[in-house]
Amino acid sequence: MGQPTAPSYDNVQYPAMGGIRVPTEVYGSSGPGKAGGSFKLNKTATHDFGAAHADYTLQPAETQASEIITTNASQAANIIWPAAFPGHSYIIYNNSGFTITFKVTGQTGVAVANGKRCILVCESTDIQRVTADT
């Protein structure tokens, strides 16, 4: 007898991710017996400071990205989440020319040096570092 395969009705397929199938128990479904969950598609949000240093508040769609890239700042600045999104993690690449602080509105956040990458996570009130800058 061959290997069993998961039924296609019990999976959500994402064509943009090479056809990856994610069980609805992980992704979340309103169906009975299905656990809700948080699953972000692989999207990048890029903010070009335009040779300025004004702080930038992420737009709603940008808060759902898995990667955030900054470029072209004229001095240190902040990237601000309008609210906390507990459990969301982000790959950060600061290519702005200056240190950028990533934080939730009204919080202290995490400073990431120019030319560095790291992983940050949003906790209940602010952004926290998961990995060192690399």
Q: Is the pLDDT of residue 113 over 80?
A: yes
Q: Is the pLDDT of residue 15 over 70?
A: no
> What pLDDT does 17 receive?
43
Hey, what are 12's tokens?
């959500």
Q: How confident is the model over 26-79, as pLDDT tens digits?
A: 433 344 444 334 445 578 899 999 988 789 999 998 998 999 999 999 999 999
Distances in Å between the Cα of 37 and the Cα atoms of 27, 99, 101, 127 are: 5, 33, 28, 20
Q: How confident is the model over 85-99, as pLDDT tens digits?
A: 998 999 999 999 999
- Its pTM stands at 0.69
> What pLDDT does 85 receive?
92
Q: Which domains does the chain have, with CATH numbers?
A: 9-39 (no CATH), 44-129 (2.60.120)
